[in-house]
């Protein structure tokens, strides 16, 4: 009986990874063009309409250029995010039964977010593929990996690691800590469709709010990762440089935040709703 219970628990643990991965895959395919326009705003500080015009000029052929790294990266990181969070939470509760649940769950969220950062090279490659200044330098994902490793070593793949670490851990804490309370505030669902809508709204609200809060870190990450070779600059130096380039106006640091807000509503709404739906189905 104990062995059967362990097998069932192991299967449930694997389900969290699988459902997170499939939910992220669906989200990337749907929202990638929006993310690409947002990236142009973060990098060049242009209005949304200009970012869209740039993509139109580039043509449909390059619209999904760079989608492979986020597909691989997001499918893996969201799987890690949900799966490791559940694993770490269960482990900490078993080994520290008297510790406050809020504390153990927060630690689990930070550990899961930190583990996600191991996949930073995929964000790095995605950034280079999306930057139009590198369109003529690299052919595809494999070409970038090979070029960076041969010319600069594995350390080059981890440019932007610090802002990613500063973003992932705290954002996971807020996401997992507030997901339940926000859903409880929504009208009680009386059908499967109602639960799906509530999960979408809950995920969308959280994702959008966290996207705005941590937006400057994503700007820093983007600027760090478009560079190849040379000194690894600190977040403070990069932030100061971006502000100087944008006439010292903090508001310009948030260029693209409106599009990011809209993208995050859809992205995290899709991820959260799909994850919860898939979890009930498997």
Look at residue 67 in the predicted model and tell me its pLDDT: 83
Residue identified by tokens 């709204």 is 201
- pLDDT tens sequence for the chain (282 residues): 444 445 555 556 678 999 999 999 999 888 888 878 877 777 777 888 888 888 888 877 778 887 887 888 889 999 999 999 999 999 999 999 899 999 999 999 999 999 999 999 988 988 888 877 877 778 788 888 998 999 999 999 999 999 999 999 999 999 999 999 999 999 988 888 999 999 999 999 999 999 999 999 999 999 999 889 888 999 999 999 988 888 778 887 888 888 789 889 999 999 999 999 999 887
Per-residue pLDDT, 11: 52
Q: Which domains does the chain have, with CATH numbers?
A: 2-281 (1.50.40.10)
What pLDDT does 168 receive?
A: 94
Handedness of CA 91, 96, 101, 104 (dihedral sign): negative
**pTM (2 decimals)?**
0.82
Q: Which of 22, 23, 71, 86 is nearest to 271 (CA)?
A: 23
The per-residue pLDDT for 2 is: 46
């Amino acid at each position: 009986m104990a062995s059967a219970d362990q097998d069932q628990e192991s299967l449930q643990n694997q389900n969290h990874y699988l459902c997170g991965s499939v939910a992220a895959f669906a989200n990337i395919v749907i929202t990638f063009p929006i993310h690409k326009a947002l990236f142009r705003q973060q990098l060049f500080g242009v209005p949304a309409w200009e970012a869209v015009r740039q993509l139109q000029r580039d043509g449909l052929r390059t619209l999904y250029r760079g989608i492979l790294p986020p597909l691989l990266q997001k499918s893996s990181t969201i799987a890690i995010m949900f799966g490791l969070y559940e694993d770490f939470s269960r482990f900490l509760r078993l080994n520290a039964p008297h510790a406050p649940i809020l504390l153990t769950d927060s630690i689990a969220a930070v550990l899961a977010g930190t583990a996600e950062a191991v996949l930073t090279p995929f964000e790095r490659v995605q950034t280079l593929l999306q930057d139009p200044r590198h369109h003529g330098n690299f052919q595809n994902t494999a070409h970038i990996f090979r070029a960076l490793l041969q010319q600069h070593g594995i350390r080059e793949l981890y440019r932007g690691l610090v802002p990613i670490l500063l973003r992932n851990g705290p954002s996971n804490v807020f996401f997992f800590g507030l997901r339940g309370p926000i859903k409880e505030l929504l009208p009680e669902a009386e059908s499967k469709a109602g639960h799906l809508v509530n999960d979408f709204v809950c995920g969308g609200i959280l994702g959008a709010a966290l996207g705005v809060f941590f937006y400057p870190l994503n700007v820093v990450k983007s600027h760090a990762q478009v560079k190849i070779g040379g000194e690894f600059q600190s977040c403070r130096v990069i932030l100061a440089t971006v502000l100087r380039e944008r006439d010292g106006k903090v508001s310009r640091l948030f260029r693209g935040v409106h599009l990011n807000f809209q993208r995050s509503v859809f992205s995290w709404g899709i991820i959260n709703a799909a994850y919860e739906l898939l979890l009930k189905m498997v």
